Amino acid sequence: MSTNTPSNGPYDAAFQGSRGAFSEIAAWELLTPSANLLPCPSLVEVFEAVQTGVAAHGVIPVENTLAGSVPGSLELLYQYKFFVIGETVCRIEHAVVGAPGVKMEQVKKVLSHPVALGQCESFFRKHADIQAVPEYDTAGAVEKVIKENLRDSAAIAGRRTAELFGGVILADNIQDHAENYTRFLLISRENKTASNSVRCKTTIVFKLANAPGALVQALRPFAERGIDLTKIESRPIKGSPFEYWFYVDLVSEPGTSKMAEAAIKNLAGVCSTLRVLGTYPSR
């Protein structure tokens, strides 16, 4: 894997975080290890880089097997009207990284992205005297700890960041469970529908009328066709109290895309708004 500093644009993809972030690894898996990548401090800046053409693609985390959904990712995908054209799943192993010479007993604060902190709750229960401090990124937290030579603080990130930024590993594999994975999406301004000859995943978002049985009615077309729904999530609609968007991932086996399309068409007839965010090879 390349560890070179990104060159000037145009970039193959933008990702949220600093070099060494898990999103960077996901970008290499989704594109190539030689891809020209743009680190961005926030998810919004990833979307802006794609919107303005600075980057051809964006790589965004959407869910983790321990901490759940990543806040903001799906909402931004809908807001910017981008398409999902690929996905990958990365194994996440966390380490506590400190500045050279720092010992674990000196650490009073541990910095990291809120989702990463949520994956390491048992560590904080074991070290009740250590404060969890949210930062915009895992690797960025390590970079801050090392650059500022913090003596009472460390960061939670992948162990690779210790090598990248010159830190030391104070504790390893501190995630709550060994089976810790994060799913990342490859997004683009241009749609790219996957071939009908491969197993595909389709992500849709829709809004239902507030009526009894509306959700059952909406999902019936998929049940009747035996289509697997791998994710159903409701998210509040800003400005519309107690109304929700429903985000759904459905899987179609090779040669069955027409069935999925028919089910989505039926769904469109019972909801007030529906948009297909993309059909892409399932990982």
Catalytic residues: 182, 184
Q: Give the Cβ contact number of residue 160 at 10 Å.
A: 21
Strands (E), the chain: 11-16, 37-40, 55-64, 68-69, 83-91, 95-98, 109-112, 131-134, 153-157, 168-172, 181-188, 200-207, 228-236, 244-252, 273-281
Residues 6+ apart with CB under 8 A from 105: none
First to last CA, the chain: 21
DSSP state of 240: S
Query: Strand 244-252 to strand 168-172: parallel, antiparallel, or no bridges (unpaired)?
Result: unpaired
How wide is the angle at C-alpha 12 spanned by C-alphas 73 and 253, nearest 5°?
60
Query: What's the token pair of residue 45?
Result: 């800046």
| Cis bond upstream, residue 236 (ω within 30) | no
